[in-house]
Structure 1
Amino acid sequence: MKGGSAPAESSVLSINLLVAALILGGMAAQNLFYTAQPEERAVITRFGAVIGQTGPGLHFKLPFGIDEVQKVATERVLKQEFGFRMESSGEGGRNRALTEGYEEEREMLTGDLNMIDVSWVVQYQIQDPIKYLHQLREPERTLRDASEAVMRHLVGNRLARDVLTTGRAEISLLARDGIQEAMNGYNSGLRITAVELQSVVPPQRVRSSFNEVNEARQERERMINEAIKQKNQAIPKAIGEAKRTIAEAEAYAVERTHRAKGDVARFQAILKEYLLAPEVTRKRLYLEAIREVVPKAGKIIVVQEGESRPQSFFHLNEQGGAQK
């Protein structure tokens, strides 16, 4: 009995060894290959040391924990939200923004000591998977801290009305460059693609007062613009009137000068004729004066000397000449 049990035990042991070998072989075969998706890059470490990275597709690696594979989505655009969080409402797949509990993130002090609420989004990609995985302990947390520091610095160096109105686009561009510079200094392997300001408004508790101040500033700007408009209209008009008055005065001076010269020439001509024939010239001047004055006199009544009733009168200003 003892001699017959030894072969049986040996065969059972062989079967167990074969099963174990098959299991280990299957596990090894399963761990020999890995697949990276089109949007992924795989970082390979051997005994904890980085030996390289691979792109999309099927690749070989050493089994039993010798080679470790970490996959990173390098082609995907990631984002971090500041001052709010987007959450799915579950109603038709719509998202809604949650703002409660994030007041400290969005409350900022401007350069003119005004409080405003700034909410923004940082979009980024993983450019270097090796640096992303092994350079920083918490790259996302570092990105959040750097983003908040850069944004507070930019807002703190500007006036509140600039941040609320015309300065938003400039702040977005400067924030993107500033965050990228900070992350490059940490060798994070991240590339900042965009910074978008979502909401820039006064805090809720001072919003009504801020709106009143803003309305007063707008009214002041309106009145200034109206005054500038009136000035721009009044000055050219006054200049035009002055030029017209000067031109009229100059024209009148020229006219009076020419008329005076004409009168002098006429007087000299009459004087010359008078010196040649005084009686004839005197009578001609008298008749010319009568011809010019009498038509304007209207009715003329003629009364002979020594008589009380008129003898005759003339309508010298009627058509057809004098009538008796």
Structure 2
Amino acid sequence: MAWNEPGNNNGNNGRDNDPWGNKNNRGGRDQGPPDLDEVFNKLSQKLGGKFGKKGGNGPSIGGGGAIGLGLIVVVAIAVWVFSGFYTIGEAERGVVLRLGKYDRIVDPGLNWRPRFIDEYEAVNVQAIRSLRASGTMLTKDENVVTVEMGVQYRVADPYKYLFRVTSADDSLRQATDSALRAVIGDSLMDSTLTSGRQLIRQTTQETLNSIIDKYDMGLIVVDVNFQSARPPEEVKDSFDDAIAAREDEERFIREAEAYKNEILPKATGRAERLKKEAQGYTERTVNEALGQVAQFEKLLPEYQDAPEVTRNRLYLDTMEEVYTNTSKVLIDSESSGNLLYLPIDKLSGQDGDSSKRKTKSSSAYDSIELESQRTDTQTETQTRSTNSRQGRY
């Protein structure tokens, strides 16, 4: 039932239930809107009772009410001031916007901004970010390869990173894909799959840096990694065989170089040794020849003074040299005519070390016969030896 419904509250027409406290008839009207002055007076009295004097009737809208409103304002200002403090991390930089327009960049630490006037956005400038570009690309020799490349980068300028391009990360991804396709398009397929990977990586990084500088993205490329390059699946087996053959070729070349490095020093050493030996032999032979010439030059005057004595001395020296290195059997042929038994096998064993000598008896019989006729042929031998030496000299 409504508070002003007729008949409510014992016939008082609901005036006792009036929430505005209008129990009396004002201006002859039984019903009507509440008096605003009275409402404000009651509100000020309540605030005055809490913040002003206790007891008594205070002024209608001054005194304690003004103090309460001031305190509310002070609290609101304090909340607004404290809500403006914010912290920027050590690895971050803060980009401050004032009424939506770039204002400044703040360093790490505690900072303050006027709330609802300045806004900020923190950007990490030390973290290393990464992205990956991949796809099927056409090479210079009209072959198709699947290439994957990873890029590591970081933010160099927070303002440029946020406002120079719509999305710096996405723009860098598109630039990487464009640079990679351009470099692969200028390379041969064999170079892309094998030995040219380092050159492709370096060229891609240079091209990507030029694109970043041109668009002024506020980024810097830290490293570019050529992750993989492979042929299409339809011809993968053939390319694997070709790569295996190329690796075998390189292995054989390395083995050949290792063998060459091992053999050449040895061969060079042997050659040097042979040269030294040849030089030594040459010097020895020449010196021996010079010594013989010097000996002959000393012997010639002696021979000219006494030829017979010199011939006999030369004969004796020659026989001494011959018989010194041979096994000898001496038989007195004049003492007896009996046949003697000689151990030929033992004598031949004693002569085993003289196999390289120039003069050797052919049989024991020849030796016996030579010794038996020694006395008869001594004069003839001396004459023949002397004549041969005279002819040599």
TM bucket, shorter chain: 0.5 to 0.7
Q: In the alignment, is residue 61 of structure 1 matched against residue 109 of structure 2? A: no
**Count of aligned residue pairs for this structure pair:** 278
SS in 2 for 1:299: coil
SS in 1 for 2:35: helix
Higher relative contact order (CA 8 A, sep 6+): 1
* TM-score after normalising by structure 2: 0.55
- Equivalent positions of 1:18-57 (< 5 A) are 33-39=83-89, 41-46=94-99, 48-54=100-106, 57=110
Structure 1: gaps of 5 or more residues: 16-20, 84-104, 319-324
In structure 2, give the amino acid aligned to 1:50.
Y
Aligned to 1:91: none
User: Is the alpha carbon distance of 1:196 and 1:135 closer, same or farther for their aligned partners in structure 2, counting shifts above 3 Å?
Assistant: closer
User: Is the alpha carbon distance of 1:134 and 1:308 closer, same or farther for their aligned partners in structure 2, counting shifts above 3 Å?
Assistant: same
Cα deviation 1:249-279 (Å, max 9, x = unaligned)? 2222222222222222323333322222222
- Quote the RMSD (CA, aligned, Å): 4.4
Aligned to 1:120: 150
Q: Which residue of 302, 308, 311 corresponds with 1:282? A: 311
When structure 1 is superposed on structure 2, of 250-259 and 176-185 the one drifting more is: 176-185
Q: Aligned partners of 1:277 and 1:12: how far apart in 2?
A: 175
Aligned to 1:90: none
User: Is the alpha carbon distance of 1:126 and 1:29 closer, same or farther for their aligned partners in structure 2, counting shifts above 3 Å?
Assistant: farther
* TM-score after normalising by structure 1: 0.65
Contact 2:146 2:232 in 1 (8 A): no
In structure 1, give the amino acid aligned to 2:122.
V
Q: In the alignment, is residue 184 of structure 1 matched against residue 213 of structure 2? A: yes
Aligned to 1:321: none
Q: Aligned partners of 1:257 and 1:76: how far apart in 2?
A: 84
Aligned to 2:323: 294
Aligned to 1:262: 291
In structure 2, give the amino acid aligned to 1:79.
R
Contact 2:139 2:185 in 1 (8 A): yes
- Equivalent positions of 1:139-218 (< 5 A) are 139-154=168-183, 159-160=191-192, 161-162=194-195, 167=198, 171=201, 178-188=207-217, 190-192=218-220, 194-195=222-223, 197=225, 199-202=227-230, 205=233, 207-218=236-247
User: Is the alpha carbon distance of 1:180 and 1:300 closer, same or farther for their aligned partners in structure 2, counting shifts above 3 Å?
Assistant: same
Q: Shift of the alpha carbon at 1:126?
A: 6.2
Rg larger in structure? 2
Q: In the alignment, is residue 133 of structure 1 matched against residue 133 of structure 2? A: no
Q: Aligned partners of 1:268 and 1:126: how far apart in 2?
A: 99
Q: Aligned partners of 2:183 and 2:286: how far apart in 1?
A: 73
Aligned to 1:242: 271
Contact 1:302 1:312 in 2 (8 A): no
User: Is the alpha carbon distance of 1:243 and 1:213 closer, same or farther for their aligned partners in structure 2, counting shifts above 3 Å?
Assistant: same
Contact 1:43 1:53 in 2 (8 A): yes
Q: Aligned partners of 1:122 and 1:285: how far apart in 2?
A: 100
Q: Aligned partners of 1:8 and 1:28: how far apart in 2?
A: 33
Q: In the alignment, is residue 273 of structure 1 matched against residue 302 of structure 2? A: yes
Q: In the alignment, is residue 229 of structure 1 matched against residue 279 of structure 2? A: no
Q: In the alignment, is residue 81 of structure 1 matched against residue 134 of structure 2? A: no
Report which of the two has the higher share of strand: 1
Q: In the alignment, is residue 8 of structure 1 matched against residue 58 of structure 2? A: no
Q: Aligned partners of 1:280 and 1:76: how far apart in 2?
A: 113
Q: Shift of the alpha carbon at 1:246?
A: 2.7
Cα deviation 1:98-128 (Å, max 9, x = unaligned)? xxxxxxx244556775724324143322622
In structure 1, give the amino acid aligned to 2:255.
E
Q: Aligned partners of 1:282 and 1:132: how far apart in 2?
A: 117
Contact 1:108 1:118 in 2 (8 A): no
Aligned to 1:94: none
Q: Aligned partners of 2:303 and 2:94: how far apart in 1?
A: 124
Q: Shift of the alpha carbon at 1:220?
A: 0.9
